[in-house]
A and B are shown apart, each in its own frame.
Chain A
Amino acid sequence: MDIAIRCRDLRKVYDGKPPVEAVRGLDLEVRSGECFGLLGPNGAGKTTTVEILEGILDPTGGEVEVLGLRWSGDHAGLRERIGVSLQETRLSEKLTVEETLELFGSFYRKGRPAAAVMEEVGLTEKRRAWVMKLSGGQRQRLAVACALVGDPDLLFLDEPTTGLDPQSRRSLWDIIRDLRRRGRTTLLTTHYMDEAERLCDRVAVVDHGKVIALGTPAELIASLRGEHVVEFAVNGDAGAGAGAPGDSGGGSIAGAPAATPAPLDPQSLLGVSSVKSARAESGSILLTVDEPHVAIPALLERLGREGHSLSRLTTRHASLEDVFVALTGRHLRDE
């Protein structure tokens, strides 16, 4: 199998006081023809990594090979074969969509006609509009179009769908899927789990400048040992004052020992059958389980026995978000 991008022990330190270690020994292999996702929280080092791979930032250390070539070697030849969309580029405001694409197209030996690319990203009606008059989503599509106009073998998209509405995101996904069908390789970065799950053949989870997990979305989720998430909350568990004297409601049986159950410890639930992991999070408890139909009855039985009453219970499939939380204890996007 062909390798489109390979990097070993990639390092980048930004000078400054103090110096910032943005990438700390990152290894990556992207195969030809696949759509590969870099997933990670803010400041993980995704943009830094991508810009080094694009040859516009020099690494502090490590080796980079793109399409079998090195940036120090055939620089010009390599540029012809890659397409780039940076995180936040503001193109010239007073040029039209068509003028912008013609300009970018002229830089490439095998540049494509602007009209074809506009058709592809759905900007044909806006061809004569100045860039300053475009909406955020249209600008983003124009940025991708500028990356496509050179007919690249390898495409880098840094957060191509951030800030787009669901419909624009889906139309960008279609563009990327179409590229893959034509055998092109895409490396994209994203914060969106669903995007990575639906679009990417393989995903690398990046945190603190390192790859902490790698695989297909399905493999990563399977690695949770439990592909379903059961999330529930119990009454009075979080409220410390629930058992205070004189607080007993009229309906409760005064003096009954079950009225003030001990707070629920998530780790104590690991014994419930089919439960693989458990953690508490903002007033709820999250379990990953193999078989919800086994785990839920057992859980209810256990809660009833200990005198907890359930206030909420939901189940869903595990996502890459859960993978990330399981790996780091943090969420991808700390809102």
Chain B
Amino acid sequence: MSRRHPFLLLVLARMRELMREPEVVFWVFIFPILLAVGLGIAFRNKPPDEIVVGVVDTAGSGPILAALTPAGGFAVEAVSAPEAAKRLRLGKVSLVVVPGARYEYRYDPTRPDSVLARQKVHDALQRAAGRADPIEVTETLITEPGARYIDFLIPGLLGMNIMSGGMWGVGFLLVDMRTRKLLKRLIATPMRRSDFLGAIMTSRILLVLAEMVLLLVFGRVIFHLVIQGSLWTITLLAILGAFVFAGLGLLVASRTARIETASGLMNLVMLPMFVFSGIFFSSDRFPAAVRPFVKALPLTALNDALRAAILEGADLPSQIGRILVMLAWGVLAFVVALRIFRWN
């Protein structure tokens, strides 16, 4: 009877177990797509809405109403002074114009729409009163794919999934096998431990590649994501990420005997990266003082590298710094984890 190699059967067993687990299928494949759809729609780029302006209805409002035409992008409401104040407070109008010898603009300078409205209204009123702009300009409008929020988001979602998949798929799995005494049972056979760990790594990488293809194809088809970099570069980065977070998962699991302790530890490791590593917004928003720490996190390196490859077409050599950060984390995690790992 021809026998298959234990490594292959271990990979096969792992993949079967994963695919037979509805929760895994949801978190790995469906959840990131739902997130992309939800956030992609909520933050889709769109032309600015019309500017809603309140004009206090007193003598002298006539020229103002005439100047702020719908064609200029304005929606004007002529209302009483108290009503105008109320509408401004509630955010129903961006700006209130009070007619008089001097026009008065009332608005909140911390509201971006109000600042924009003040600019536009001021220009329109000045031009209507005869201001001439001395410089001629032409405007060429370009909407660049690659600069939209969804373009920023998709590489981040891929990085996030590589992290949580690695931590749960390796760390949680091993602790669970330990509490079930399955680890102990396996080492009572002649199974090679390297086959076992190698199979877990391999199944992680296969899963990461499936996720990557899914997210990129989805982004391409639904959101017209333009993938600038080579697929090889992106694939290698994803595999490197899978390696790093499998190592961290292994480290968390190396001595933990209880599931609760393991999930606590994993959340402790992952939470800072969820916040700081630029999944949903750029990590450059943090103050310069903490940025070196943020950049040293493995997920920041992975997200930045994936973004540079997918959105800007960066190749591997140009990202050597980020690759080294990831390698350092991965190698360190594996070396320590294998040294202290408890099989029984």
- Which residues of A line the B interface, CB within 8 A? 51, 54-57, 76, 79-80, 82, 84, 86, 88-92, 94-95, 99, 102-109, 111, 113, 130, 146, 150
Contacts and interface: CB of A to CB of B under 8 A. Distances in A.
Nearest to B344: A56
A123 to B, nearest CB: 18
Nearest to B16: A95
Nearest to A92: B17
Given A102-B9, A111-B3, A79 B182 contact: no
A79 B21 contact: no
Greatest chain B CB density within 10 A among A80, A82, A104, A113 is at A104
A150 B189 contact: yes
B190 A80 contact: yes
A80 B3 CA distance: 16
A89 B182 contact: yes
- Which 5 pairs, one residue from A and one from B, show the smallest C-beta to C-beta distance? A90-B180, A79-B190, A84-B188, A94-B20, A106-B6
A106 B184 contact: no
A321 B52 CA distance: 92
Nearest to A106: B6
B224 interface: no
Interface string B244-281: 00000000000000000000000000000000000000
Interface string B178-203: 00111011011111000000000000
A224 to B, nearest CB: 37
A89 B17 contact: no
Contact of B1 (A103, A113, A130): A113
A79 B13 CA distance: 22
B131 interface: no
Contacts of A86: 181, 184-185, 188
Greatest chain A CB density within 10 A among B13, B190, B343 is at B190
A108 B20 contact: no
A80 B189 CA distance: 7
B5 interface: yes
B339 interface: no
Contacts of B344: 51, 56-57
A84 B13 contact: no
Contact of A107 (B17, B184, B189): B189
Interface string B318-344: 000000000000000000000000011
A223 B3 CA distance: 52
A111 B1 CA distance: 10
B190 A106 contact: no
Nearest to A147: B188
A102 B344 CA distance: 23
A9 B212 CA distance: 58
Interface in B153-192: 180-182, 184-185, 187-191
16 contacts: A56-B188, A57-B344, A84-B189, A89-B185, A91-B185, A92-B13, A94-B17, A94-B21, A95-B13, A103-B6, A104-B189, A106-B6, A107-B6, A107-B191, A113-B1, A130-B20
B181 A88 contact: yes
B19 to A, nearest CB: 9
B9 A106 contact: yes
Given A84-B185, A99-B16, A107-B6, 20 more contacts: A51-B344, A55-B188, A79-B188, A82-B188, A84-B189, A88-B181, A89-B182, A89-B185, A91-B185, A94-B21, A99-B13, A102-B9, A103-B6, A103-B10, A106-B9, A107-B189, A108-B190, A130-B20, A146-B185, A150-B189
B193 to A, nearest CB: 11
A256 B16 CA distance: 84
Contacts of B3: 105-106, 111
B4 A106 contact: yes
Contact of A108 (B1, B189, B343): B189
Nearest to B188: A84
Greatest chain B CB density within 10 A among A54, A55, A107, A150 is at A107
Nearest to B8: A106
B70 to A, nearest CB: 62
A89 B187 CA distance: 13
Nearest to B20: A94
A95 B20 CA distance: 9
Contacts of B10: 103
Nearest to A130: B20
A130 B1 CA distance: 24
Contacts of B21: 94
Contacts of B184: 56, 86, 89
Nearest to B196: A107
A105 B10 CA distance: 12
Interface in B1-33: 1, 3-6, 9-10, 13, 16-17, 20-21
Contacts of B13: 92, 95, 99, 103
Nearest to B17: A94
A129 to B, nearest CB: 13
Contacts of B189: 79, 84, 104, 107-108, 150
A50 to B, nearest CB: 11
A95 B190 contact: no
Contacts of B20: 94, 130
A90 B186 CA distance: 11
A51 B184 CA distance: 10
A90 B181 contact: yes
A72 B61 CA distance: 98
A88 B3 CA distance: 29
B200 to A, nearest CB: 13
Nearest to A58: B344
Contact of B187 (A56, A82, A111, A146): A56
A76 B180 CA distance: 24
Contacts of A90: 180-182
A170 to B, nearest CB: 25
A91 B184 CA distance: 11
Given A57-B344, A107-B189, A91 B182 contact: yes
Nearest to B5: A106
Contacts of A106: 3-6, 9
Nearest to B185: A89
Given A95-B17, A103-B9, A106-B6, A89 B190 contact: no
